[in-house]
Structure 1
Amino acid sequence: MNTGFIKMQTFNTIFKNIIALLLLTMALMPSYAQTPGGKAATSGILDEQIDLQQQLIPLDNIIDIAVAHSPSVKFQQDLIEAAKSQLNFSKLVWTNNIMGFVNYSSGNQSIISSDSQSAGNLSSSNITNGYRMGVQINLPLYELVGRKSRVNLYKYQLNSTVDKRDETIEALKRNVIQIYYSLLYYNNLLNIRSEAKQSAISQLAVAQKQFKDGIIDIAELSRLKVFEVNARADYEEAKREFSIAYFQIETFVGVPVQQLMRK
């Protein structure tokens, strides 16, 4: 038996195992930041080495921004202002029954007045031209008995409009909270799937080399190929879910994600 040949085969086997170990070690390192189409390509601003929650501003601040930019909340606020104006108008509608007038008269108008210098005697005078002015108030009974009910009606309408706005804000808060934590979840899941995909790709590369060298059989190579395909599919699904959550939070908040990042 050729001892040198045996030693050479042993050396080749050890060398191959070292190469395989190095490839597996590299696969376990976070690397999806360099993956084409990965999260970095989606956001362009997120640091994959830092937890996403630490990069975003506090959730309370995000909710405040969402409320300030929400078209639904703005719509309800406009209805509140309209209800306030209607209430104020209903309190002043009684003035519609007050009428002032000014006119000019010409002709012979007799005005009889008492003569303060001659007690008991009456003196008369003629006025041919003059202005006449005054105020006329006609207050219907409806204004006396129905004003309070009318004002209360508009008060209740104003209160219901305020309640509707508050309901809209609460629904918006729930949606923002849900999508915020969905974004964090899918971000973490995407990191995990990226590591799994790179590991599967590296294992398959090693297995293909080992198959050529006769170290493993076709069944083992096929198993690792299926594992690699599933890992890539899981990564693409996680990337899709993250992208949906990423752009949904922009829709709910009303500003780009860049404005939600800590300075």
Structure 2
Amino acid sequence: MRFHLFQLNKILICRISLLFVVGVFAVTVCHGQNRSARGLVSFGASSGLADDTLYLDINQDVAVQLLPFDDIMKVAVAHSPLVKYQNEVANSLNEGYEIAKVQILQNVAGFGNYSTGNQILISSGGTTLPGQGTLGQIANGYRVGVDVRLPLYELFGRKHQVRQAQSNYKAAVHQKEVVELQLKRDLIGIYQDMITTQQLLKILLIDEQASLTAMRVGEVEIQKGQITADAMASTTSRYVQAKTASEQAKGNFLKNVHYFEALVGMPIQRLRRN
């Protein structure tokens, strides 16, 4: 009879312990992340940064939550200060090219005037035409004309100056393409790093939860004398290592997200799919 009671108590203890483990694992939430009603995880509060709350679904890939990469690249090009600067440089050199093409006109000048009153031209000479006196009057009225001067530089140097201005403009356009290409390479790198660190964070959060559950069970078992202090210390150390790894992964993930936002020039919340 005592043997059966002992077996029954042992079975009840095992079932209670198993239910306790399952219950702790079910309600355990990784310390340092807060899940909102919409199932999104807030990392800002856990990082200790004010007004720096990032809402993302940690269980869903970032690439699925955000816009397609080509659309993100267009946003980055539109907001990049380097691209804007290079675009203004290209526009300036294009204007210089247009000026160089018409600069030859600075050697052409027009003039016009209007005169009134008598303007007597006194002429002298021994021979005069029949019926013409020694004095003649210049008719009054408008006078217009064009003055054209063509230096040798315009004949031999102007075409080279125009070509130089055109080449400078084309070089600026190509430099803009280089800047956009470099921006795309940087964005691809940060984008992939962000995806990788998110996947690593998901794995480490699972490990942290399992380690925390094991530590909670160990706290109950050591109170009952079922495990030694060394075993409890080992379980606690395992949780600390898992927690440290998850916090480092969380920091790397947040860092990549902020780098990504800086390159795109827009908060990540505005890049989410509708």
The interval holding the TM-score normalised by the smaller chain is 0.7 to 0.9
User: Which residue in the other structure is 1:11 paired with?
Assistant: 11
For residues 207-239 of structure 1, the C-alpha deviation after alignment (integer angstroms, 9 at most, x for no partner) is: 111111122112211110100111111111011
- The structure 1 residue matched to 2:42, chosen from 21, 40, 45, is 40
Structure 1, unpaired ranges of 5+: 112-119
Counterparts of 1:98-247 in structure 2, within 5 Å, are: 98-105=108-115, 106-109=117-120, 126-127=137-138, 129-247=140-258
> Contact (CA 8 Å) 2:118, 2:137: kept in 1 or not?
no
Count matched residues.
Answer: 254
> Contact (CA 8 Å) 1:32, 1:191: kept in 2 or not?
no
> Contact (CA 8 Å) 1:109, 1:127: kept in 2 or not?
yes
- Deviant stretches of 4+, over 4 Å: 31-34, 36-39, 120-125
User: Which residue in the other structure is 2:96 paired with?
Assistant: 86
Following TM superposition, by how much is the alpha carbon of 1:127 offset from its aligned partner in structure 2, in angstroms? 3.3
In percent, how many aligned pairs have the same letter?
A: 28
Q: What is the TM-score of this pair, normalised by structure 1?
A: 0.86
Q: Residue 134 and residue 224 in structure 1: after superposition, are their counterparts in 2 closer, same or farther (change >3 A)?
A: same
> CA separation in 1, counterparts of 2:250 and 2:203?
11
User: Which residue in the other structure is 2:107 paired with?
Assistant: 97
Q: What is the TM-score of this pair, normalised by structure 2?
A: 0.83
Q: Please tell me the residue identity of whatever aligns with 1:193.
A: L
> Contact (CA 8 Å) 2:119, 2:137: kept in 1 or not?
yes
Which protein has the bigger helix share?
1
SS in 2 for 1:22: helix
Q: Please tell me the residue identity of whatever aligns with 2:33.
A: T
- Please give the root-mean-square deviation of Cα atoms over the aligned residues, in Å: 2.8
User: Which residue in the other structure is 2:81 paired with?
Assistant: 71
> CA separation in 2, counterparts of 1:148 and 1:142?
10
SS in 1 for 2:144: strand
For residues 139-160 of structure 1, the C-alpha deviation after alignment (integer angstroms, 9 at most, x for no partner) is: 1111011111111111111111
Q: Residue 237 and residue 186 in structure 1: after superposition, are their counterparts in 2 closer, same or farther (change >3 A)?
A: same
